[in-house]
Chains A and B, each alone.
Chain A
Amino acid sequence: MRTSQRVAIRVRVDPVACDAYGYCAELLPERVTLDEWGYPIVDGTPVGADLVDLATRAAAACPRRALLLERV
């Protein structure tokens, strides 16, 4: 129970900060695709334990710190 609460997160993008570098889509294709202009389209479905590390890594890789992890 405690574990599942800790990993209940979803990704979200701050559209003001995002500059379409696209690393997020490369590192987390399970939740992020890019639109025709190169900006991320984020699927807000919570990520399971298997993806938490990848989501964290994608957020850390964003040069604009625009990929946000939200606890749900």
Chain B
Amino acid sequence: MSVATMDTDNGTLTLGPPTGAGGDVSDQRLLGHHDAGGGNLDDHWAQYGVLLIPDRDDPPWRESVREAVSASGLVGRGGAGFPSARKWASVSASRRRPMVVVNAMEGEPASFKDRALLYRSPHLVLDGAEVVAAVVGASEVTICVADDNRSAAASVEQAVTERNIAGVARFRISVVRPPAGYVTGEESALVSWLDRQRALPMLRIDKSVALQVARRPVVVHNAETLAQLALIARHGPQWFRQVGTAEAPGSTLVTISGAVRDGAVFEVALGTPLIDILRGAGVESELSGVLLGGYGGAWLRPSLLATPYAPGPMTAAGATMGVGVIVALPAGSCGLAETARIARYMAGQSAGQCGPCVYGLPAVAGDLEQLAAGQEGPDVVGRILSRASTIEGRGACRHPDGVVRLVRSALAVFADDARAHAAGRPCPGHAGATVMRFPQDTTAQRWAS
């Protein structure tokens, strides 16, 4: 069991031991033993074992990796939960050499898992990226770390240098720094930034067509997904499936904050009851709700805390796993006021392209602020719900849809509070809402244009 802290650019972050796995998840999985940023190639090999990637194209090896990853049941850890091996089909068809992009943008303000991973085990992410590059026939790997995230970038840059000095990097690996922001890490926005320095999402009519940079097809994977993949390439799908459930195999990284002393990143077995994960993280107090997934995620009511932490059960409970964000809202905090703050932040993070997002999100944020302050009559809840339905599905990307989901879940989970607020009796906690944290300097103006 290892606990360590890392200095993030937004404060100190604790890296906790794996929890809730009945002792089955060994430290060998993602976060490793060592505390040092930057990792060390020898330590990395000593800990995880050497990963052999063939020197030149090796079809049987490629096929075996493809099969292992499919059989493992690994799904992407960047929020969409797409089966990882399926992402490779669209790029292999192209005549131009594909490019592998590592998405470590982590624009969710309450998520720290990708930076924790890059800080603690950068070589594991690089291993995964090299495996994918070899499988899809790429010559180049580009790692995207947001420009406000210095420690993670320094760590992975050092790891790349180490590989180059040791002469073991099979691919050209570069680290680039796109602008921080909630939407800049959206897959098409990231690719658009790489292609022409505009970090704006694109309308994708046919999602089976690969995104392109300089007319080359691109395969984008989240950083954690690649670290998981690096271990599957070593130990095989059966090993991966030793933890988790049949439908949701493996472990996953979560960032837990709220009713805990410090925000912390943990590795948990999928399917672990949420309540055990919270206890393992030291959440002991009474909760009024739990925010799951991220700021575009959903609230879960306290009576459902025994729900297994896995995509199916979470969806059935009206929540989502998203990027592994778990914010425990202490009893006495106002969930409506916290939701209003998130909605206002998310409105400010719109990429400013689509009317329903540009005008709709501030309107909903304003409605929620009035509800939170207890200023409105009983029809405000109806207006929020009707505006939510109007906005849903009408942006080029899913940014507004995340807000819609969050807001609907807030009105359901905090329905009693909403009734009291609408009747002019706000909860005492509404004025001092401070549980949700927001980055200081990531405004939409910093984007391209």
Contact = CB atoms under 8 A, between A and B. Distances in A.
B431 interface: no
Given A15-B353, A15-B354, A16-B202, A39 B396 contact: no
A-B pairs, 6 with minimum CB distance: A39-B355, A15-B354, A37-B359, A16-B353, A16-B396, A15-B396
B394 interface: yes
B315 interface: no
B209 to A, nearest CB: 15
Contact of A15 (B356, B363, B390): B356
A15 B359 contact: no
Interface string A16-44: 10111000000000000001111101000
Interface string B124-146: 00000000000000000000000
B358 to A, nearest CB: 8
Given A14-B203, A15-B203, A16-B203, A38 B355 contact: yes
A66 to B, nearest CB: 10
A13 B205 CA distance: 11
Given A35-B390, A36-B390, A38-B355, A15 B360 contact: no
A39 to B, nearest CB: 4
A39 B353 contact: no
Given A15-B355, A20-B355, A39 B203 contact: no
Interface in B345-363: 353-357, 359-360, 363
Given A36-B390, A41-B390, A16 B354 contact: yes
A18 B354 CA distance: 7
Contacts of B394: 15, 39, 41
A19 B202 CA distance: 16
Given A16-B203, A16-B353, 20 more contacts: A14-B396, A15-B203, A15-B353, A15-B354, A15-B355, A15-B357, A16-B200, A18-B355, A35-B356, A35-B360, A35-B390, A36-B363, A37-B355, A37-B359, A37-B360, A37-B363, A38-B355, A39-B355, A39-B394, A41-B390
A67 B416 CA distance: 43
Contacts of A20: 355
Nearest to A34: B355
Nearest to A12: B205
B395 interface: yes
Given A15-B394, A16-B396, A39 B359 contact: yes
B140 to A, nearest CB: 29
Contacts of B354: 15-16, 18
A28 B217 CA distance: 38
Contacts of B202: 16
Nearest to B355: A39
A35 to B, nearest CB: 5
A41 B393 CA distance: 10
Contacts of A35: 355-356, 360, 390
Nearest to B391: A35
A4 B205 CA distance: 23
B350 to A, nearest CB: 11
19 contacts: A14-B396, A15-B203, A15-B353, A15-B394, A15-B395, A16-B202, A16-B353, A16-B354, A16-B396, A18-B354, A19-B355, A35-B390, A37-B360, A39-B355, A39-B356, A39-B359, A39-B394, A41-B390, A68-B205
Contacts of B360: 35, 37
Interface in B299-356: 353-356
A50 B349 CA distance: 42
Contacts of B395: 15
Among B202, B203, B355, residue most surrounded by chain A Cβ atoms (within 10 Å): B355
A41 B203 CA distance: 16
A26 to B, nearest CB: 17
Contacts of B205: 68, 70
